[in-house]
Amino acid sequence: MMNPLCLEHCLTETEKQQFEDNGFLAVEDAIPQEMVDKLIAAVDRVGAEHLGKDELPPDAQFNLLDFVGRDENFIELLDWHTTFPKVWGILGWNIKLYHSHLIVLPPLPPEERDKSKRLGWHQDSGRLNFEMEGDPRPRVSLKVAFFLTDTSVPGRGNFSVVPGSHKSNTLEMPDDATTDPENATSVFAKPGTAVFFDRRLWHSAGRNTSDITRKVLFYGYSYRWLQPRDDMTVEHYMECSDPIRQQIMGKSTGGHGFTSPGEKDVPLRAWIQENLGTEAIAR
């Protein structure tokens, strides 16, 4: 069942306002160093398998989608007690994991480090940004980024954002093709930090001019009716998981259960109501 420690880490009014205003929220020490070490070992093993190597090369660089079902330690983060309550605090209870993304970013070659280059600014979710109406378009999803390596100083591929940019469908770029947009900000994250961000937030990975490989796990949560963004290869964990974790992994009684869910579709709703009261589930 859900860890009761979740009740100690619900979204606060200050955090909620910060997320609404800026489009992101950083929580330090979200996972302890012991768990960070386990996750790094899992990343290195899975990364080596992905690259067809016996071990992960020091200069390995890759983006791996649908990583979450490849190690039980990745599964543990689905409903981690310091982070998952804040996810439901923002999106509500009719949610699931629809996407997972592992990024390993090694240092740039020495000859590339002094070159000026604009970062790859973007919003998440692909065609949602063209096919949904409104300005801003609906939030629909968010990501939690778990930082496993130290990006608490500049030049380590820091997660970069434009605070408040989730409120606009467009982002004005300088005429100079090498310059980043006004108000671009680096998020300095120590190992174990979790960064929550709205899918509409304009963001990018920074340039890694350090000697440290950047390793980050991204967990994308959405409403249950949104089509998964990757294959969600988690079926082998389904039967050994509790009902709430099964919900997060995408289980439903059927197609109708995604848009008009019953009790068996969304056990998270009942858990929140039982532990926090009817007012906590809104509707």
Which two structure tokens, joined as six digits, stand for 177?
């093709």
**pLDDT score of 1:** 79
Q: What is the mean pLDDT of the chain?
A: 96
Distance of CA 51 to the CA centre of its chain: 23
How many domains does the chain fold into?
A: 1
Residue 201, by phi and psi: left (phi above 0), alpha (psi -120 to 50) or beta? beta
The arithmetic mean of pLDDT across residues 166-171, rounded, is 97
- Listed in sequence order, the residues at least 6 apart from 65 whose beta carbon sits closer than 8 Å to its beta carbon are 99, 100, 101, 102, 229, 230, 231
| Residue-wise pLDDT tens digits, 22-79 | 999 999 999 999 999 999 999 999 999 999 999 999 999 999 999 999 999 999 999 9
**pLDDT score of 41:** 98
0.85 surpassed by pTM: yes
The arithmetic mean of pLDDT across residues 202-224, rounded, is 97
CATH number for the domain spanning 93: value is 2.60.120.620
Q: How far is CA 278 from CA 10, 13, 85, 270, in A?
A: 15, 18, 16, 9
Which two structure tokens, joined as six digits, stand for 120?
């790859």
**pLDDT score of 278:** 85
**pLDDT score of 143:** 98
The arithmetic mean of pLDDT across residues 139-149, rounded, is 98
Confidence of residue 283 (pLDDT cuts 50, 70, 90): confident
Which two structure tokens, joined as six digits, stand for 41?
């070992």
Pair 7, 248: CB distance under 8 Å:
no
The arithmetic mean of pLDDT across residues 195-209, rounded, is 98
| Residue-wise pLDDT tens digits, 221-251 | 999 999 999 999 999 999 999 999 999 999 9
Report d(CA 125, CA 169) in Å as an integer.
Answer: 13
Report d(CA 218, CA 55) in Å as an integer.
Answer: 22
Q: What is the domain extent for residue 142?
A: 4-281
Residue 281 has pLDDT above 90, yes or no: no
Residue 126 has pLDDT above 90, yes or no: yes
Percent of the chain with pLDDT over 70: 100
Query: What strand order describes the sheet that includes 185-187?
Result: 185-187, 159-161, 203-205
